[in-house]
Structure formats: structure tokens, C-alpha cells
A and B are shown apart, each in its own frame.
Chain A
Amino acid sequence: MPVKHCESAVVVENKPLGNGIFKMIVWWPYPAEAGQFFMVRGWDKFPLLSRPISVHDADGERVTFLYEVRGEGTRILSEKKPGESVELSGPVGNGFPVEKIKGKVAVVSGGIGIAPLLLAVKSLSGCEVTLCCGFRNQSYALDSFKPYVQEIRVATDSGKEGHKGFVTDLFDPADFDVVITCGPEVMMEKLAKSCIAKKVPCYVSMERHMACGVGACLGCTHHTAHGAKCICKDGPVFEGEEIYA
């Protein structure tokens, strides 16, 4: 997969979805795979580092990002207008092994962790997918998932929508052949450990502070069952057992 640095990738669309969540579509006439990410910047000098943002969707012409405004970097991104540009390095990282995933699949997200999972479900073939997603108050981005999943189950912290409580209350991993997940680390740890106990293969997409995004700075090194790995270059997707066994 060729990795590129593009100083001006043109923004096609950048829409607020409510609750500080935005969807940005950028011209990117190159491949990008499910679970990979880009180092993104939309500014010159400040903040210093580019921000890692996952591929939400990609079709060989455009790449879509789904992001939550957290601080200065994502705030600047949220102000980009169609026709303006962002700087992209990528796609980087190892994504979901979609060919290996078969049967009944639980796709589990917490908050903005839903971002990398759209292209993941679109890339699966011959699977029966149940999307279980947790949000603070309100769901977002679910419409794009509908054509690709059999069922959507929602949990919210506040109970405003769907089940009040944890997304992990919504299903039993034992009912599935594979689980893939992205979200807060506490959620993924709990889920991965339950999958390991029930012998259900599980793939987790990890997040860490990172500087370079390509495996050079060694800022996001993590202990795994196979030794020291870079979350950015060797991940961000790992088998649950590599991280949590």
C-alpha cells in the first residue's frame, strides 16, 4: 500500500453532525484500507504535530473522516470549508484483517471509536453483522451503516437513546464468531478479556498519543504477546489476545 504525503488534499465536504462531531470528505484518489489512519493537519505551525484520524470511508477517489472536536487541532479541522485543503500523510497502519473475518460478527464501538468501523463493515463479505454502539447522549453516523449491517443496538450513558448503560451490556460475545471493536480503552479491555475467556476471536483498534504516526519516534510503543509493538505502525488494529491476554 503506497504511503503518501500530500500537502493540499482538497476538502469536498465538512459537515457538523451535532454534538461536536463532524464528517469531512477529502479528495484522495488512492487506496486506503479499513482500520488505517492518516496523520492530518490543516494548519501551518501550531499545533506542532499532525493529528491521527482514522479512515471512516474510502472509495479510491475520496476519503471520509468522522471526528470529534476535542482541542485546537480538531477545532481547526472543523472550520475547513469545501474547496480549502488539508495536509495528509498516509494511509498508515495495519487495519482490520477483513478477509479473515467470517460468520456472525459483532462490531462494537464506544463514542468516536465508531469512526474506523464503517469501512470495516463495508469491506466484510459474507458476514452477518450486528453493530453495537455506545454514545454519551445521542447516536450519530448510523445511517451510513444501515445498508451493511443486519442489526443496530444502541446504548447511551444518559439513557436518552437506546439502552442506558454500557455497550457491552447489549450482547454476549459467545453468540458471535468474531468481535471487532474500537473505543475507550476500558471498554475494549473488558470486551477483549471476555472474548478471550469465551474463545471468540477479537480485533481491537488501539489509540495512543503518537508523534510521527509511522513508527519512527517510538512514542506509542506497547507491550504485546509478540514483544514491543508500535501502535501506529504495527497496529492500530491488533488481536485482542496480543494486547490483553
Chain B
Amino acid sequence: MLKTVLNGVTMKNPVIAASGTFGFGREYDQFFDISRLGGISSKGLTLEERFGNEGERVYETPSGLINSIGLQNPGVDAFIREDLPFLRQKDTAVIANLGGSTIESYLEGVEKLNETDVDMIELNISCPNVKHGGMALGIKCDIAYEAVKQVRAVCKKPLMVKLSPNAENIVEMALRCEEAGADSLSLVNTFQAMAIDIYKRKPVFNNVFAGLSGPAVFPIALRMVYQVCGAVKIPVVGLGGIASWQDAAAFLMAGATAVQVGTANFVKPDICLDIIQGLEQFLKEQGCRSVSEIIGAARV
């Protein structure tokens, strides 16, 4: 009933663990069998290993979390060698989330991933926490278009482009990425935000600005997904603040083909299972035979 096909990849349900919130799956496999997920998007990978940012990295806000991790990751090669084999033992779609600082580094990363059995590449053109590249790409439509086009030219896997809510115009951005050859879009990444330590009289984060996620961003993310689904023809994966099956259902009704769950994993390690079960129950109650029946159902 929940079976979902995204860019030719069949998933047992439309619930994907979001990049950067699920490691490479091992941490949460202690709590439940991660094969029950529709898919897992890896921690954002870069060509080289990165330590990430110094100083405070997480800060809680009312119903939200601001993070400044800075793409700490072991690098594409180490992922392929050490983490991908573990993920591949699991019966779930494996999405490699790829970040970068230069176009060249993206292209090199894609070429390495082309040679593996990852199901899909999620191109992160939207990380707010790296000084160069990352978000600049995600804000300016022209820069994004150019990057996606070049990546498309070398990418042999289904290509999902992850959009930033900080884009100058989210609908325009989506259209340009579609035009550049993206097979699907995922949105949103975190919202640029900040926190100030009033006793130290300085910003909490060394980078000053960082990214807000969690339930606080849900209504804005939903609005953006709704708008983008109305504009593009390619499938859209909705995320931002999902904390319950009801939130997931709302994204699907806005037109998303699938959803990703991020910050909520930190709150309840098996929240994705609750969401999957809740959706299934809801569809039954609604007399639906397939999840596809509610996709876009709330569009006016």
C-alpha cells in the first residue's frame, strides 16, 4: 500500500531518513531494523574527509534545532569502503548525499559514486554551514543551474537535487534545476538562523549563522513544497520539521512523492516507524489502496 517508486527506484514506503540526521544508519539500527525504512540518505559526503566546524554545533530553540556541523564526514572513499557495504546489507534504498565546495569536487565525487551500487545521488547544493560553496550554490539560480547541469552530464545515477529554503526564489530555483536535468528535487534543507549568547555578548556559533530545522520550520517548508510541486513536473521529496505521520501526510497531500524525516529522529529514535505505521493506518481508514491516492490530494 505504501510502495513508492522514485526515479525508477522502488521503495517499500515513502519515508526516508534525512541526510545528516541518521549517520550511516548504524546508530539507529541499534533501536530498530532500518530495513523497514523506504530509504536512507547518508550524511553529507565530500570528496575529502572533513572535521567540520569548531565551537558550538547545536543549539535548541522553541520547537527547533540550530546546527552548525559543517559537513563533518569521512569522505566519499571511506564511505564507499566502510559504510556502503553495511547499508547495502539492509533492504532499503541507499541515497548518497553529496556536498562540496567547488564544482570540480562535486564532479569527482559523482564519478566515484557512479561506480558503486548506491541507488541515487542527492546533490546538496544547500548546506548553510560551509564557508565556500554549499549555500551560495543554493541561493543563486544561475549558479545552481550551471552546477546541476555539469553534474548531470557526468552522473549515471538518478539525480535528486536538494534545495535550500534560503534560495532567492524557491520556485525559480526548482524550475532551473529541473531544466538542468535533475530527476527529482528534495526540499528543504535548513533555514539560515542564528543565536546570541547574551552573557558572553557574542554569537553562539563561530560561523555566526547556522541552520534551523525541526517542527518550527514545518509550515514554511510545507508551503515551499506545495509551491514547487505546482511548478515542476519531476517528483518532489518533501521535508522540514516532520515529527508525526500527520505531518508526513500533509507533505504528500501538498504533492510530494515521498518525505524525509530529520531532526525528529533525535527526539524519538524510532519515529520513522511510527510515521510508516501511522500512514498505513490512515490510508486504510481513508479507504485508499495506495499511497499515490493521497499525493497532491490537497492541491487547490
Contacts and interface: CB of A to CB of B under 8 A. Distances in A.
Contacts of A46: 62-63
Contacts of B64: 48
Nearest to A71: B60
Contacts of A48: 60-65, 214-215, 263, 267
A50 B72 contact: no
Interface stretch (A96-104, A177-185, A207-215): A207-215
A190 interface: no
B51 A221 contact: yes
B209 interface: no
A5 B269 contact: yes
B23 interface: yes
A228 B27 contact: no
Q: Contact residue range for chain A?
A: 20 to 34
A233 interface: yes
B27 A233 contact: yes
B282 interface: no
A216 B265 contact: yes
Interface in B243-277: 243, 263, 265-270
A198 interface: no
Nearest to B31: A5
B31 A228 contact: no
Contact of B59 (A209, A214, A223, A228): A209
B31 A3 contact: yes
A218 interface: yes
Contact of B52 (A4, A87, A214, A218): A218
Contact of A49 (B30, B43, B60): B60
A45 B215 contact: yes
B149 interface: no
B99 to A, nearest CB: 13
Nearest to B58: A219
Interface of B: 20-23, 27-28, 30-31, 43, 51-52, 56-65, 67, 69, 72, 214-215, 243, 263, 265-270
Interface of A: 2-5, 41, 45-50, 87, 89, 209-221, 223, 228, 233
Ranked 6 nearest A-B pairs via Cβ: A219-B58, A212-B266, A216-B23, A3-B30, A214-B27, A216-B27
Given A218-B52, A233-B27, 18 more contacts: A5-B270, A45-B243, A48-B263, A48-B267, A89-B31, A89-B269, A211-B65, A212-B266, A217-B58, A217-B69, A217-B266, A218-B43, A218-B57, A218-B72, A219-B67, A219-B69, A221-B51, A223-B51
